[in-house]
Each structure stands twice: as structure tokens, then as C-alpha cells.
């Protein structure tokens, strides 16, 4: 078993290994193309004080330009591959959206990553 903090640290290390993306802490300015690890949803199974799984949003952010879609499609696979290196972690979905970075909305994919704790 691992804690949420340990799972987050393992995901962070994996995400930092993705070429072509800058990893930034939640709340920091994003200089696209970038990656942000969000606050996880915690899930309990049955009785006990510790959660059994955590579902982390992993946000892939690119610049708003005429190559945004192509860049997102190109970057989402390496991010999913990096997540696959974390034991008991799996990408469930990649939802398109916008990420507010300062005064601008930037195109993004938010990957839902479930991790067993």
C-alpha cells in the first residue's frame, strides 16, 4: 500500500520524464506546452480510514494557435505511456477542455489517471 503523497510523487516523476513538455506544480504559471498534476479524487472501498484508490487529473496544456489540436493529439500518447510506468496506475479517459493560465484560456486534455493505494 502507498499513501496519496507517495502516489503523487511517483506520477510526478513519470510526468517529468515526458520529452517536449514542461512539468509545473499546481498553481504555478504554465508555459505551454506543459503538464500539471491536479488534486485527486479519493475513493474508499468498504471500511477503513485510508482511501483505496486516487483518481488524479493530469492536464496537458498547449498554446492557443493553429497547431493546438495536432499538438494535443501528439502529446497525449507519450503522457499516457509515462503514466503506464507507474505501478498500478492507469489512464481511464482524456477529456478535451480549456485550462486557465493567467489571463488566457489554453486548450488542454485532462487525463483521468486512477492509482491503487
d(CA 22, CA 19): 8
The domain spanning residue 25 has which CATH number?
Answer: 3.30.70.1700
pLDDT one-digit tens code per residue, 5-54: 999 999 999 999 999 999 999 988 899 999 999 999 999 998 878 999 99
Q: What is the pLDDT of residues 41-96, one digit of tens each?
A: 999 998 878 999 999 999 999 999 999 999 999 999 999 999 999 999 999 999 99
The domain tally of the chain equals 1
Domain of 81, in residue numbers: 4-116
Amino acid at each position: 500500500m502507498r499513501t496519496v503523497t507517495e502516489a503523487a510523487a511517483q506520477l510526478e516523476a513519470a510526468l517529468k520524464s515526458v520529452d517536449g513538455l514542461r512539468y509545473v506544480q499546481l498553481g504555478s504559471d504554465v508555459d505551454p506546452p506543459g503538464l500539471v498534476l491536479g488534486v485527486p479524487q479519493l475513493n474508499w472501498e468498504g471500511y477503513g480510514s485510508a482511501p483505496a484508490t486516487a483518481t488524479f487529473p493530469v492536464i496537458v496544456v498547449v498554446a492557443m494557435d493553429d497547431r493546438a489540436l495536432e499538438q494535443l493529439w501528439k502529446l497525449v500518447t507519450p503522457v499516457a505511456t509515462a503514466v503506464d510506468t507507474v505501478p498500478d496506475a492507469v489512464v481511464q479517459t482524456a477529456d478535451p477542455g480549456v485550462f486557465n493560465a493567467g489571463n488566457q484560456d489554453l486548450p488542454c486534455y485532462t487525463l483521468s489517471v486512477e492509482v491503487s493505494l
